[in-house]
Homo-oligomer: A and B are copies of this chain.
Amino acid sequence: MNIKQLIEKNRTYRRFDEKHSISVEQLTELIDLARLSATAANRQPLKYMLITRPDECARMYPFLAWAGYLTTWEGPNPGERPAAYIVILGDKEISDKFGFDPGIAAQSIMLGATEAGLGGCIFASVKREALRHEFSIPDQYDILLVLALGEPIEQVVIETIKENDVKYWRDNQAVHHVPKRTLEEIIIHK
């Protein structure tokens, strides 16, 4: 796959085959991609907490806000939930700001996951203090992002945006449709 194909395949997925487990070794390979990615002033302030055991995944699940626009859907059913999570932390002993580093790292990880046949969802909407308490995350770390990962079992289709409506929707075949702005709209001409 070239990068265009990889990015096209790297959709946000929210339903998975939960029986398809993901190992710590697989996640570590993904973290290596983030490790080698750009970071402001080469500070490398990001740390990563890996969650792969089913009991830990069950403890993580309630802290995430799923698919805001699907107002009648409360999130994936048991059996279709993520099989692993990566919590991206900012180490305040290294830096007091994390800027654009978490987005860069998250994209590297999600592209690596996609290449490996996995998929998932980047969560910025997280119940951070409850998560901190549940997993005893020290105050030294800011909780920046949670990446949910699994083997996707849903189809996601890119649509052209209409009437500036960015809300994704699910059709009656459970296919997920995501409207995207056109190149003409997003390139500013001087």
Contact = CB atoms under 8 A, between A and B. Distances in A.
Interface stretch (A14-22, A71-79, A100-108): A100-108
A38 B68 contact: no
Interface of A is mostly: mixed
A131 interface: no
A141 interface: yes
A6 B115 CA distance: 12
Q: How many copies does the complex hold?
A: 2
Contact of A33 (B7, B89, B180): B7
A41 B110 contact: no
Interface string A32-75: 11011110111110111111000010000000000011000000
The 7 closest A-B pairs by CB, nearest first: A103-B103, A100-B103, A107-B107, A103-B104, A104-B107, A49-B188, A42-B166
Interface of A: 2-4, 6-8, 10, 12, 28-29, 31-33, 35-38, 40-44, 46-51, 56, 68-69, 89, 99-108, 110-112, 115, 122, 124, 135-136, 141, 144-145, 158, 161, 166-168, 178-181, 183, 186-188, 190
